Amino acid sequence: MIRLYLLAVLAFWSCKGVVESPLPIEKQEQVASMDSALHYLNLVDKSILSPKEYTQAARHFVAQDSLIKTKAEYLMKAGLTCMNQEGEYRLYGVNYLILLSNKFPQNEYAPQALLQLALFFDNVLGDSERAMEFLRALIQRYPESVLREDAEGLLNLMSVSETGEIEQVRQWLNTK
């Protein structure tokens, strides 16, 4: 009889279902979102995401903004991912790269962030004046960087664009 009673209690407890988490639902969602942001940072690093997944990654990066802002590497990956999206995430990407260059000026990603910002402002937003500001900042702050020569070349090309010669070069490059 005792065995039957124990078996009934065991069956009752096993059918009870999922054990509830001691964390409130808001906290559970925040932890899940942080895990997703870290997961997508890893996938961005491996370059194995589809365009739709890059948009999902950008959404998770923005949701976990406080995590992204903790490391230069996170800012670089999230910044580039967000900037390459259409719509609402682009400006987050710009902000992430600007923050990287200001918060982590000695990090290896800082000159790369400035160059990416210059390219984005020139090619996507059509703001060559602001692009030239980023290039000048790269040249001034990082005179020993391997990207300095590229920045100087781009700055010279953008300066020449005032005369219209840059358009001829762009048309020539587009036909190649």
pTM value?
A: 0.73
Range of the domain at 159: 108-176
Report in angstroms the alpha-carbon separations of 116 from 80, 129, 136, 150.
Answer: 8, 15, 13, 12
Total count of domains within the chain:
2
Query: 80 and 133: one domain?
Result: no
Domain's final residue, options 93, 123, 151: 93
Alpha-carbon 127 to chain mean position:
21
Amino acid 73: pLDDT: 97
Among candidate residues 167, 149, 171, the one with its CA nearest the CA of residue 158: 167
d(CA 119, CA 154): 9
Query: 121 and 88: one domain?
Result: no
Whether 3 is in a domain gets the answer no
Amino acid 7: pLDDT: 47
What is the tens place of the pLDDT at every residue in 150-169? Answer: 999 999 888 876 555 666 66
What is the tens place of the pLDDT at every residue in 91-128? Answer: 999 999 999 999 999 999 999 999 999 999 999 999 99
Domain's final residue, options 33, 66, 93: 93
Contact predicate 146/115, CB 8 Å: no
Confidence of residue 4 (pLDDT cuts 50, 70, 90): very low
Is 52 exposed, middle or buried, given 0-12, 13-18 or 19+ CB atoms closer than 10 A? exposed
With a cut of 50, say whether residue 13 has pLDDT above it: no
Q: What value does the mean pLDDT of the chain take?
A: 81
Query: 118 and 60: one domain?
Result: no
Query: 80 and 113: one domain?
Result: no
Query: 167 and 127: one domain?
Result: yes
Whether 151 is in a domain gets the answer yes
Burial 104-130 (b: 16+ CB within 10 A, else e): beebebbbbbbbbbbebbbeeeeebee
Whether 64 is in a domain gets the answer yes
What is the tens place of the pLDDT at every residue in 30-87? Answer: 444 568 889 999 998 888 888 888 889 999 999 999 999 999 999 999 999 999 887 7
With a cut of 50, say whether residue 21 has pLDDT above it: no
Whether 11 is in a domain gets the answer no
Query: 42 and 80: one domain?
Result: yes
Domain's final residue, options 93, 124, 150: 93
d(CA 148, CA 59): 33
Whether 143 is in a domain gets the answer yes
Amino acid 93: pLDDT: 96
Whether 57 is in a domain gets the answer yes
